[in-house]
Chain A
Amino acid sequence: MPNALPFKRLPTNKAEWVTVYIEGQPVKVRQGDSAAAAVLAAGLQPSRTTVVSGSGRAPYCLMGVCFECLLQIDGVENVQGCMTPAREGMQIMSQKQARQLNNSKPSDLKPTDLKNSHIKNEDTAV
Chain B
Amino acid sequence: MNTPEYDLVIIGAGPAGMSAATTASSHGLKVAILDEQAAPGGQIYRSISSPAIANESILGADYYHGRTLLSAMRYAKVDYFPSSSVWTVSPELLISFSKAGKSSQIKAKKLLIATGAQERPVPFLGWTLPGVMSCGAAQILLKSSGLIPSGPLVLAGSGPLLLLIAAQLNRAGVEIEAILDTTPKGRYLKSLRHLPAALRNLPLLLKGVGLLIELKRAGVRYINNAAQLKALPDDTGLLTKLQFKTGEATDTFNCKTLLVHQGVVPNVQLTRALQLEHQWDELQQCWKPTLDSWGESSQAGIFVAGDSSGIAGARAAEYMGELTARRIAQQLDKLSQETLLLKTAKTGRLLQQQQAIRPFLDALYQPADEFLKPSDETLVCRCEEVTAGQIRSMVAQGCTGPNQTKAFSRAGMGPCQGRLCGLTVAQIIANERQVTVSEVGYYQIRTPIKPLTIGELADLAE
Contact = CB atoms under 8 A, between A and B. Distances in A.
A122 B454 CA distance: 8
B457 interface: yes
Given A10-B54, A33-B144, A37-B144, A122 B453 contact: yes
Interface string A49-63: 011110111111111
Nearest to A56: B237
B453 A10 contact: no
Given A12-B53, A122-B453, A32 B47 contact: yes
Contacts of B419: 65-66
Interface in B86-139: 101, 118-119, 128-134, 136-137
A70 interface: yes
A60 B145 CA distance: 16
Given A4-B238, A4-B256, A60-B134, A11 B54 contact: yes
B52 A32 contact: yes
Interface stretch (B313-321, B330-338, B382-390): B382-390
Contacts of A75: none
A80 B52 CA distance: 22
Contacts of A47: 130
A9 B148 contact: yes
A32 B128 contact: no
Contacts of A70: 415
Given A8-B150, A52-B385, A63-B136, A13 B420 contact: no
A85 interface: yes
Contact of B130 (A6, A56, A67): A56
A65 B416 contact: yes
Contacts of B237: 46, 55-56
A119 B454 contact: yes
B147 A8 contact: yes
Contacts of B416: 65-67
Interface residues of A, number: 55
B452 interface: yes
A121 B101 contact: yes
B130 to A, nearest CB: 4
B58 A10 contact: yes
B350 interface: no
A13 B50 contact: yes
Contact of A4 (B37, B38, B148, B150): B150
B453 A123 contact: yes
B134 A123 contact: no
A12 B146 contact: yes
Interface in B366-401: 382-385
Given A58-B131, A64-B36, A126-B452, A7 B137 contact: no
B146 A11 contact: yes
B2 interface: no
A41 B383 contact: no
B195 interface: no
B414 interface: yes
B144 A4 contact: no
Contacts of A122: 453, 455
B57 to A, nearest CB: 12
B238 A45 contact: yes
A13 B419 CA distance: 34
Contacts of B359: none
B197 interface: no
Nearest to B451: A126
B52 A12 contact: yes
A32 B52 CA distance: 8
A3 interface: yes
Contacts of A60: 132-134, 137, 382
Given A59-B133, A83-B37, 18 more contacts: A6-B150, A8-B148, A8-B150, A12-B146, A33-B147, A37-B141, A56-B130, A59-B137, A60-B133, A61-B136, A62-B140, A117-B455, A120-B454, A121-B456, A122-B455, A124-B451, A125-B452, A126-B452
17 contacts: A4-B238, A10-B172, A15-B50, A34-B145, A46-B130, A51-B383, A56-B129, A57-B382, A61-B137, A62-B137, A62-B140, A64-B36, A67-B414, A83-B37, A83-B85, A121-B456, A125-B448
Smallest CB-CB A-B distances: 6 pairs:
A120-B455, A58-B130, A5-B150, A62-B137, A67-B415, A12-B146
Interface of A: 3-13, 15, 30, 32-34, 37, 40-41, 43, 45-47, 50-53, 55-68, 70, 78, 80, 83, 85, 117, 119-126
